[in-house]
Structures are given as structure tokens and as C-alpha cells.
Amino acid sequence: MFEAIIETIPEWLKSEVEQFHQTRIEMLRQITFDELITNRSAFLSTGEITNIGELAYHLLDEQVSEREEPLFESLREKLKSRVSADKIGFYVAMLDTEYEGKFNSVLNRFTYEFLKEYSIDGKINWGKLANL
């Protein structure tokens, strides 16, 4: 079913969206663990999250969202004369073949680094985080 829908998408549009995804993947690769920890996220100060995996996810997602916003706006600007605004997100989602796997890979790496640096017996070491 998805293949049939994808086949109806014009090649020029596929190319633009695939380029967008490649830029997202490169941007994701450039995020460092130090950036996640030192960005002074509210997630680091509230103490509401007690699971390291969940905290790592929210920190990474927050960092990615900040960086993706201008990328998506740029794509929307490029496509607005030929594609209705409400369809752009649909095409972005339909043509995403790699990004989710790359995000999960980076998330696993950051979770591991977080466990090594900021945990005691598998729990978040809030005292060490407070000293950043």
C-alpha cells in the first residue's frame, strides 16, 4: 500500500524530501553528548524524570527539534509554490526510510554515555548533573 502511494509522488519532490532527510541525519550525527548535557534543559533541573533512557530521549529530542525547525521551514519555503502546506509533513513522513533508525542509534549511544558518566547503580546522579 505504501509503495503504491510513494510511486505517485513526483521525482522532484522525492529528491527534495530525501535531501531534507540526509541533512537531518547529518545534523543528528553532529550532536555531541556534551551538547546534550550542557544545554541547560528544563529536563535536567526538574527531577521529574527518573529513568536514564527517558531523560536521554527527551534531551536528544529537544536538541533535534531546535535544529530541525529551520530545516523544515526551509523545505516548506522551497515547496510552498508546488505543494500544499498540509501535505509537506505527510511526504516527509512517507519518504523517511533511515532517520528513525539513526535517531535510535544515537539515542542508544547517548544513553550508554549517560549511564557511564551520570549514574549511580543505574539511577540518575542528580548531584553530579547539578555541578555542570
Distances (CA, A) of 77 to 80, 88, 113, 122, 129: 5, 10, 37, 45, 40
Return phi, psi of residue 120, to 5°.
-130, 120
Give me the pLDDT at residue 1, please: 58
Give me the pLDDT at residue 69, please: 93
Beta-carbon neighbour count of residue 126 at 10 Å? 13
Spans in the chain with pLDDT lower than 50: none
Domain ranges, ordered by start, for the chain: 2-130
Bridge partner list, 124: 119
Give me the pLDDT at residue 47, please: 66
pTM for the structure as a whole:
0.79
Cell numbers describing residue 50: 527518573
